[in-house]
Chains A and B, each alone.
Chain A
Amino acid sequence: MDFTSFLIQILNALQYGLLLFLVASGLTLVFGIMGIINLAHGSFYMLGAYLAFALSSLTGNLMLAIVLGIPLAFGFGALLEKLLFVHLYKRDHLQQVLLTYGLILIFEEVRSLTVGDDVHGVAIPALFSASIPLSDTLSYPVYRLVISVVCVALAIGLWWLMQRTRLGMMIRAGSFNREMVQSLGVNIDMLYRTVFALGVALAALAGMLAAPISSVYPGMGGSVLIISFVIVVIGGIGSVWGALVAALLVGFADTFGKVLLPELAGLTVYLLMAVVLLWRPEGIFRKG
């Protein structure tokens, strides 16, 4: 591997890591703050991708589809919380697993009945459809770089929301002591509903942004669910920074695993997880 292709591989790793962060950030919020094990997280990702497909075929424009899709996903998340998840806060994890696994089956079946089982493509917005030449033979699609920029912006935005705003403060307080926050006069139900809806919206946004490069297909949620949990566990449950660092680590492990250790490419990510957990069983950024 010469130096240029080494640099390109670093770019590949960063770009993949940032995309993984986007997918996992919603899960870490819901899991870390609300204590809900949400197996249906992947389904929300799928929902986003299919929303992008449906709305962009209707409007002819992916950006418009995303602008319309985010409030739809947010509203859907709030509705699900009000109808189903609100009953889970005081129950044990096994019942959460049962409900969210059931949701996966329902979402898959509804998808199959409404859209069918074919693979669909979503066009990259014309504005970003160009490629930048990196070497004499390889060029890099602008759209992937745009996704990376969006991911960085979201990471900063989330950090700011959680650490620097009153809402973030209440959310963090609520995750430590629900009753105390409630008795201080904060509407904790509304707060949790907001967090959950935010988690759904983030997952759907990830699906919408990824739709043009990953295609839209049955079972697409399952593939991101496992890697999202790996990232949340490596990063430390509930930590946004942890998820970012973990996602980048996974991006590097996966990319360089494929290039340098092709025989073990399927294992490198899980080896990374094992090493991190031996070193810090709570994950890298777990506080307290």
Chain B
Amino acid sequence: MVIRDRRLRFTVGALGLGVGMLLAQGAAEAADKVKVGMMLPYTGTYASLGNAITNGFKQFVAEQGGKLGGREVEYFVVDDESDPAKATENANKLVKRDSVDVLVGTVHSGVALAMAKVARDSKTLMIIPNAGADELTGPLCAPNVFRTSFSAWQPAYAMGKVVAERGHKNVVTVSWKYSFGEQSVAGFREAFEQGGGKVVKELFLPFPNVEFQPFLTEIANLKPDAVFVFFAGAGAAKFVKDYEAAGLKTSFPLYGSGFLTDGTLDAMGGAGEGVMTTLHYADGLDNAKEKTFRSGYATAYKAQPDVYAVQGYDAAQLLAAGLAGAPAGAFDKDAVMKAMSAATIDSPRGAFTLSKANNPVQDIYLRKAEGSQNKVVGIAAPKLADPARGCKMMK
């Protein structure tokens, strides 16, 4: 066959070149390396979270002598800037240009949703070390998308249970009006109303607005038994300070998802003292893994680890479990995924397994803010699994 059309000839030539490159790449991969694409925020508001996750991940790799499941680790790093608009392009850089074996990321749920779409479309293995959007292991779940952190529903549901058990009947909720906030309030409401309580009013304000005064006036007017909130970061610090300054803290006990008091207690300057929150991690957990993890982290990074570092550490553990369960040689994704789904992760937070939707089935702790620590008080909900509503893999 003689190709006459010059454009077509060019296309065929390019195709040939492409196939050749693919083959060359295949040969290179026969070496036992695993290519890890880290897509995390290294600048912007969430930079400290991205760094903590990376540190945790690398700490576990270091503990294994620089290897995961017997393989050398090659990192490809992209700063996602917590910008959903750039998320698809960034994820594609790692998947298509660098052809990574596994995507690790990220913090911001909007970015993670775009990443998960790329992972599903390209069938790339993905481990989410933080983003909590329920959808990721709910309606949008996929066999190649794993999570080592939590779903928004989990800590909030556990808190709903606790607040009902503590005998509160009427509760007002306050949150930012975006999906994570709404999912937290929904999870809280579900457990709290099952326990016989009633959410008398759900107050929402647009993200990232932090002018809370009108809502504090509303709360004083409604006189509930308790208040449940979802806020994080600087907004959380401001809310708790304003809540105390308005004199509400003594009349209406404040409860929240753990993000309210994680990394923000110092900024609250004492206003957070005694606030109870729920999360899958706490200060003062008494287990051997936690102790070695803490001392190792403190030595390596000259800083105390936080929940984000734990999630990064466990992402590396999960990947190691998958690689250990797969044959040596070329990266066998299906075998890795199978071993990951079946793994029990010996986490500093306490051991956990994965649900059918690949979200951790884990103890959610009740914590109380003391000084700059969230001290564990007890287990609010043991082995709590996200219901993964809308996930096809649950059947």
Contact = CB atoms under 8 A, between A and B. Distances in A.
A117 B47 contact: yes
A137 B220 contact: yes
Contacts of B268: 121
Interface of B: 43-45, 47-48, 177, 203-206, 208-211, 213-218, 220-221, 223, 233-234, 237-238, 241-242, 245-248, 251-252, 263-264, 266-269
B47 A255 contact: no
Given A121-B268, A133-B247, A217-B45, 9 more contacts: A16-B213, A119-B264, A131-B247, A135-B220, A138-B247, A139-B247, A216-B267, A259-B214, A265-B204
A116 B217 contact: no
A206 to B, nearest CB: 15
Given A9-B217, A133-B247, A137-B247, A214 B210 contact: yes
Interface of A: 1-2, 5, 8-9, 12-13, 15-16, 109, 112, 116-123, 131, 133, 135, 137-141, 143, 213-220, 223, 254-256, 258-259, 262, 265-266
Nearest to B237: A215
Contacts, number: 119
B206 A5 contact: no
A64 B228 CA distance: 38
B269 A121 contact: yes
Residue of A5, A16, A123, A216 with most partner-chain B CB within 10 A: A5
Contacts of B223: 137
Contacts of B233: 119, 217
A271 B47 CA distance: 34
A5 B221 contact: yes
A112 B206 CA distance: 26
A265 B205 contact: yes
Contact of B45 (A15, A16, A138, A219): A219
B237 A12 contact: no
Given A138-B220, A215-B237, A121 B242 contact: no
A223 B221 contact: no
A15 B211 CA distance: 11
Contacts of A259: 214, 217-218
Contacts of A112: 43, 47
Contacts of B247: 131, 133, 137-139
A262 B269 contact: no
Contact of A117 (B45, B203, B204, B237): B45
Given A112-B43, A117-B45, A254 B211 contact: yes
Contacts of B248: 137-138
B238 A213 contact: yes
Given A135-B220, A137-B220, A12 B214 contact: yes
Contact of B217 (A138, A215, A218, A265): A138
A223 B208 contact: yes
Contact of A1 (B203, B205, B221, B266): B221
B263 A119 contact: yes
Contacts of A135: 220
A116 B246 CA distance: 30
Nearest to A259: B214
B44 to A, nearest CB: 7
Contacts of A255: 211, 213-214
A118 B263 contact: yes
18 contacts: A2-B221, A16-B211, A109-B43, A112-B47, A117-B47, A131-B245, A138-B221, A138-B246, A138-B247, A213-B238, A215-B267, A216-B267, A217-B234, A254-B209, A254-B211, A258-B214, A258-B215, A262-B204
